[in-house]
A and B are shown apart, each in its own frame.
Chain A
Amino acid sequence: MSDLKLFLDDLQEESQKKSEFAKPIDEFLTGSFIEEASLRVFVHEKIISAEKKINLADSLPRIPKWLYKYSKIFNFASAEEIIFLDTETTGLDRGANTYAFLTGVLYFENNNWVLKQFFIESPENETLLMKLLSELLSNFKILVSYNGKCYDIPLLDNRFKFHKNDYSIRDLEFLDLLHLSRRFWKTSLQGCKLQNIETLIFNYIRDYSNDIPGELIPKAYFDYLTSRNAEEISNVFYHNEEDLYSLTKILEVCTNLDFMDFDYLEKFKIDNFSVAKFLVDIGLESSSLPLLKELANTDKVSENILLLLTKLLKKENDYLSAVEYLKLLEATSPLICLELSKIYEHKLKNLSQAFYYARKAYLLLHEEPVFNNTLITESEKRITRLKKKLS
């Protein structure tokens, strides 16, 4: 035996068990192979049936004006210009060995939603997959994804370059629904994982016996490459398909969103305050104001709502209204009391009221379960100053 052989035996590593049952992907899924030179890519394609109810094509033309403000791509969006995309990869890092072995897309064609999933049975076929993908993507203007801006798009961009493919994915417009979802659901959900939205917002339960948890996907593919048994891979196809449906649903919820329609917000567990804040952030204060006023008069009223409302009212110099709204929560909130004290002191020049609310804030602060030293000191200073002014 050679020295090297002795050395390798010495390492005492277990050999990988050879699977006796190679089962190719087409035993589990219908589809066809696209071949070129000695390479091939498996394509699973289907027209989405009516029961999946993707209504986007109808709702897209009714996109509310506020969405234009959020992203200019909504200006020209018609269903035919949009492609949804989601990749399944060999790792979560951005290392050199991370590539997409399955890329699923969903698009609207001839009045139907079409699902296409491109899969490679081994890594050498990636170069053909990238070519097919580049040909398809160049027919669209907008790519909709979930966390695509940070993940799928840079990855694909990299892999196009790796395979010396000239296609520039960066020429597309991107809509990353993760960013939009965070706006609406960050406070009501524990993190904005796509599957959380799916189950908690859309009340949709996947067929878990057919699914695979996302973090196990890289290993599933590596296992498949050694065993050639595609059983688990068919679950990855299912997972990918379901993710794509969820994307369409999120976009649909957004396009139909009327933020004054509280029932709608309620139905999709969209936090009202988040919407109001979102509107302010994208420069639609005039739309946010009526929403906030309306909210203030319901049982949804909260410290945050009143403070944001006050901020907007102050800009319009409407201090009297601000004070009226703030008083809704003066009994319980030290922050509201402090705000009242400020407005009375500086704007309405009513020192005794200012003093009254500063003291009230001070007292309420001492009832809070968590001692807030900064605020206590602030209110103490305010009280001392007002005392001086009053005397």
Chain B
Amino acid sequence: MNEYFVLDKFLEKSSFQTNIAVHHKDEAKEAEWSDIPQSLHPWVRATLEESGFQKLYIHQEKAITSILKGVSTVISTGVSSGKSLCYQVPIIHSLSFNQNNSTLCLYPTKALAQDQFKSFSPLLETFSTISARKPNLNIYDGDTEQSQRKAIRENANIIISNPDMLHVSILPNHNSWAKFFANLKFVIIDEVHIYRGIFGSHFTNVIRRLKRVCSHYGSSPTFILTSATIGNTREFITSIIEQLFKIIDKDYSPQGNRHFLIYNPPLVNVELGIRRNALQETTRIANFFNKLNVQSLIFTRSRRSVELIVSNLKKSNSRSFTGYRSGYLKEERREIEKQLKDGELNSVVSTNALELGIDIGDLDVVIINGYPGTIASTLQQAGRTGRTGNDSLVVMVANSSLINQYLVKYPEYLFSKTPEQALLDANNPYILLDHLKCSIYELPFDRREIYYGVSRETINELLDFLLDKGYAIERDSVVYWNTASIPAQQCSLRTINSNSYTVLHHGKNIGLIDNNSASWFAHENAVYIHNGEPYLVTKFDTKLKNIEVITHDKDYFTEPIIKTDYELIKELDLLSYPFGKAHYAVLNVHTQVSAFKKIKWSSREILDTEELDLPQTTLPTKGVILTLSDFYEDFLEKKGNSSKQNNYGKDWSEIKKLVKQRDHYTCQNCGKLESSVSFDVHHIKPFKSFSNAQEANKTENLITLCRQCHRNAEIPVKIQSTMAGLAYLIRNLAPLYLMCSNSDIQVNYSDDSKLSDGKGAIIIYDSFRGGIGLSKKIFTDLVAVLDLCYAQVKDCSCSDGCPSCTGPVAENGYGAKESVLELLQEISGVSNV
């Protein structure tokens, strides 16, 4: 299909065309070719020719040549640029010389492993026919039958596995893999950018252990990595493999014109700045392409929104479409991937589950419902279209959140800024200690050993600790594991709990929900939507881990109301500063689904709210609570930027009554009549922007709105408080400082916190049970962190706040940049004294 056709058709429709806020185009370029290297074994060259490769892209040739020289190599070219071939060729090349040679391929998910197995098999078969060698290609993961494992271990040439399996099964049992390790030539790490943050810190330590085991067997494999575009490839890969390597990142594969549109839903109430719902606009666009028979992939951020869009598509009579998200059965997902690839599906609505490199063929259009949160992720999702050098179209539908509206205004943020950095701290003491235990278990640890990027002092200190606590014994400077426990079994690489609930419809398993989200996704009386089909949850069985559902035929869906509570368990430390206090404490973070709303499909009207009595889930962790001293609270208040609740003046209730009367008790946006739930009176120009209440409360500045519309109207005029701005800043910078990923640490601002006697507080805590030292470091290094914040705001070129500093600013709102800057200036002035 001709992409210009797709784009033209889209632009032809004026109801789309007028809302296109941004049209960004990357020009097409031709492929640049290279001959198949003569240095390759004749069997390999024959295999390539037989498989239809007359030439290679230049980057493929460069990667292969580098790998053949034994240089570890990172391939960081675009989606669909033939990265897999860069390692498949060296593998068969090495097998041509010695059929015992082995390779370990690590993929972050089992699905990706399956996919790669399928894509490698045909090439390997061709090679077998030509060379008369029969290399064994096997998947070895949690799903591999016990009865097959022994044979695989003993005969494997190419093992496809995942980091968790390597960690918990292969390395601790390396003795059963002796032949495999002794012959190990290559380690492939696919999608290496996934291994960032705490997960990455674990992963690096697994790689350290892998290398250590290899050197015991006398092998030193070449590492071949593939990566999406990230902001700091060299630094990141160095921290992952801790050795020299070459980067291949110039992409010579062909590319069509790439059109990236940002679509901003039209204003439905100009005065109040309320826009049409992004999800519904996404559906409208998806439906449009669906009816054109154009294959599109629709990315959206949550599992819930996947289902809402699928349901909407169903209602608008789209053809051959489906949802795709975690929680669908494995077979169901494989089937969708296959149908997508075979062109049998027109539209697939997915979470970022389809962002990773599973081969789903060439798509015509990618629609993104709301900014995915990172530039890297946006590029990955956009890369799913135009895979073989054809022109491509991406439509990102902006929602009403500040960050989305910011991108509409400043699209260069998306197109010219380098993607986010991937960071990790391999020497996080918690993680290092856990993996050192595993290392000792795997092979006795010689004190004279060099343990990669860890200093000898650190290693000695940790070893002494393990000796003292009875985990190990030492003989002649060699440390031996000395308990019957297997340390790898007590350390999980991921925080995700793999346990899940089964969704049963008349006894038939229709889906899975992970433990953590089951209670808010499928509590009793919730409407659980699976591939657009609504079901009503009749039973939530925590013992059997079953969720029973029946078909739901009413015209509403449900949305949970989630309450988060912090509970201080024990204060561990307290530091007082002139500007305020920092507490370091053991915290319990409780989340609870306290109620749910029933929302009408067609109008999105809230029909009812029902209380729920569900057990709360608790994350026991450690965290920092930051509060300001009274002096600084006053300082902010004088600046008119405190976080305190507005005081609307003593006449407010009287004024409110008058305005409602004037507006005939009708919501001035949607026209709904006030009933049991009382309506709000809204300040068109924000209250905080006036110097006194009288001015602000003039009736021409007031309007009656229902609660839903009031919320919508507040977004574009939002005034960010200083503390909220500071929290935003810390949230942005903490991962950089700690070298973790955004989800590893939580930074929240609460203007009325139990933890701080009702004062505003910034609460920072680790996302890991028991804490993993991240917030601890913020606590001890608070001044340095605040200095970093100061530098960031000071040097930021924006005027009133942006996503890189104190947060994006509402269209007609006010940012907190200036007041945060002043506060930090005061603070750092004090701290520098």
Task: Name the residue on A nearest B173 (C-beta).
Answer: A95
CA distance A121 to B480 in the complex (A): 13
Q: Which of B457-503 contact A (CB under 8 A)?
A: 458, 461-462, 465, 468-470, 473, 475-476, 478, 480-484, 486
A96 close to B443 (CB less than 8 A): yes
Contact yes or no, B481 A97, CB < 8 A: yes
B598: interface (CB < 8 Å): no
Which residues does chain A contribute within 8 Å of B461, judged by CB atoms?
A: 2, 4-5, 8
Q: Does B441 contact A (CB under 8 A)?
A: yes
* Residues on the B chain within 8 Å of A93, using CB: 486
CA distance A123 to B441 in the complex (A): 12
What residues on A are CB-neighbors of B470 within 8 Å?
15-16, 226
Query: In the complex, which of the residues A4, A5, A16, A124 contacts B478, with contact meaning CB atoms closer than 8 Å?
Result: A124
Q: Are A15 and B174 in contact (CB under 8 A)?
A: no
Chain A residues in 8 Å Cβ range of B429:
3-4, 7-8
Complexed CA–CA distance, A2 and B460 (Å): 13
Does chain A have a CB within 8 A of B442? yes
Q: Say if the beta carbon of A261 comes within 8 Å of chain B.
A: no
- The answer to whether the Cβ of A248 comes within 8 Å of any Cβ in the partner chain is no
* Nearest CB of chain B from residue A231's CB, rounded to whole Å: 18
B441 engages A96 (CB within 8 Å): yes
Q: How far is the CA of A161 from the CA of B481 in the complex (A)?
A: 20
Residues on the B chain within 8 Å of A95, using CB: 172-173, 175, 441, 486
Q: Provide the residues of chain A in CB contact with B441, threshold 8 Å.
A: 95-97
**B462 touching A4 by the CB < 8 A rule?**
yes
Residues B444 and A123 in contact, CB atoms below 8 Å apart: yes
**Interface flag for B46 (CB, 8 Å):** no
Interchain nearest-CB distance for B23 vs A (Å): 52
Would you call B173 and A96 a contact (CB within 8 A)?
Answer: yes
Which of B175, B441, B442, B476 has the largest number of chain A CB atoms within 10 A?
A: B175
Stretch at the interface among A141-149, A217-225, A363-371: A217-225
How far is the CB of A18 from the nearest CB of chain B, in Å? 10
- Within residues 147 to 198 of chain B, which ones have a CB less than 8 A from any CB in chain A? 171-176, 178
| Minimal beta-carbon separation of A304 from chain B (angstroms) | 30
B704-728 vs A, CB cutoff 8 Å, 1 = contact: the mask equals 0000000000000000000000000
Contact in complex: B175, A4 (CB < 8 Å): no
Within the complex, the shortest CB–CB distance from B4 to chain A, in Å, comes to: 60
Q: CB distance B178 to A16 under 8 Å?
A: no
Residues of A within 8 A of B176 (CB): 94, 158
- Tell me the chain A residues, 101-137 only, with Cβ under 8 Å from chain B: 122-124
In the complex, whether B323 has a CB less than 8 A from a CB of chain A is no
Proximity bits, A62-103, B CB within 8 Å = 1, else 0: 000000000000000000000000000011011111000000
Q: How many residues of A contact B (CB 8 A)?
A: 29
- Chain A positions 223-263 with a Cβ under 8 Å from a chain B Cβ: 225-226
Which residues of B, 235-264, contact A by the 8 Å Cβ criterion?
Answer: none
Known: A7-B429, A96-B443, A161-B178. A225 touches B482 (CB 8 A): yes
Q: Which residues of B have CB within 8 Å of A226?
A: 470, 473, 482
One of A16, A97, A218 near B469 (C-beta < 8 A): A16
Query: Does chain A have a CB within 8 A of B265?
Result: no
Is residue B135 contacting chain A, with contact meaning CB distance below 8 A? no
Given A15-B469, A124-B476: A7 touches B773 (CB 8 Å cut-off)? yes
Q: Which residues of A contact B173 (CB under 8 A)?
A: 94-96
Tell me, in angstroms, the Cα distance from A122 to B480 when the chains sit together.
9
Tell me whether A162 is interfacial, beta carbon within 8 Å.
Answer: yes
A15-B469, A226-B482 in contact; A122/B475 too (CB < 8 A)?
Answer: yes
In the assembled complex, A13 has its CB within 8 A of some CB on chain B: yes
Collect the chain B residues with CB atoms within 8 Å of residue A2's CB.
Answer: 461
> Bound state CA distance, A280 and B462, in angstroms?
62
Pairwise interchain contact A14-B482, C-beta atoms closer than 8 A? no
State in angstroms the CA–CA spacing of A218 and B470 once bound together.
15
- A4-B462, A90-B484 as given contacts; A96 in contact with B442, CB under 8 Å: yes
Decide if B484 touches A96 in the complex (CB within 8 Å). Answer: no
Task: Give the distance in Å from the alpha carbon of A219 to the alpha carbon of B458 in the complex.
Answer: 29
Cβ-defined partner of A16 (8 Å) among B172, B468, B780: B468
State whether B175 touches A162 (Cβ < 8 A).
yes
- A123, B472: Cα distance in complex, Å: 11
Chain B residues positioned under 8 Å from A16 (CB to CB):
468-470
Interchain nearest-CB distance for B622 vs A (Å):
10
Q: In the complex, which residues of chain B have a beta carbon less than 8 angstroms from the beta carbon of A96?
A: 171-175, 441-443
- The distance from the CB of B173 to the nearest CB of chain A, in whole angstroms, is 6
Asked if A222 meets B483 with Cβ closer than 8 Å, knowing A15-B469, A16-B470, A123-B475, the reply is yes
Q: How far is the CA of A222 from the CA of B171 in the complex (A)?
A: 22
Q: Which residue of B lies closest to A17 (CB)?
A: B470
Residues of A within 8 A of B174 (CB): 96
On whether A218 and B480 interact (CB within 8 A), knowing A7-B773, A14-B469, A16-B468, the answer reads no
- Min Cβ gap B489→A in Å is 10
Indicate if the CB atoms of A4 and B458 lie closer than 8 Å: yes
Closest chain B residue to A161, Cβ basis: B178
Interchain CA distance A158-B176 in the complex, whole Å: 7
CB distance from B429 to the nearest CB of A (A): 5
Closest Cβ–Cβ distance, residue B217 to chain A (whole Å): 10
Q: What are 25 inter-chain pairs, A to B, with CB distance below 8 A?
A: A4-B429, A8-B462, A14-B469, A15-B468, A15-B469, A16-B468, A93-B486, A94-B176, A95-B173, A96-B171, A96-B441, A96-B442, A97-B442, A97-B486, A123-B444, A124-B475, A124-B478, A158-B175, A158-B176, A161-B175, A222-B482, A222-B484, A225-B480, A225-B482, A226-B482
- Chain B positions within 8 Å of A, measured between CB atoms, are 171-176, 178, 429-430, 441-444, 458, 461-462, 465, 468-470, 473, 475-476, 478, 480-484, 486, 773, 780
Nearest 3 A/B pairs, CB to CB: A16-B470, A218-B484, A7-B429
Beyond A95-B172, A96-B442, 16 extra complex contacts between A and B, CB < 8 Å:
A2-B461, A8-B429, A15-B469, A38-B476, A90-B484, A94-B176, A95-B486, A96-B173, A96-B175, A96-B443, A97-B442, A123-B444, A124-B476, A124-B478, A161-B178, A162-B178
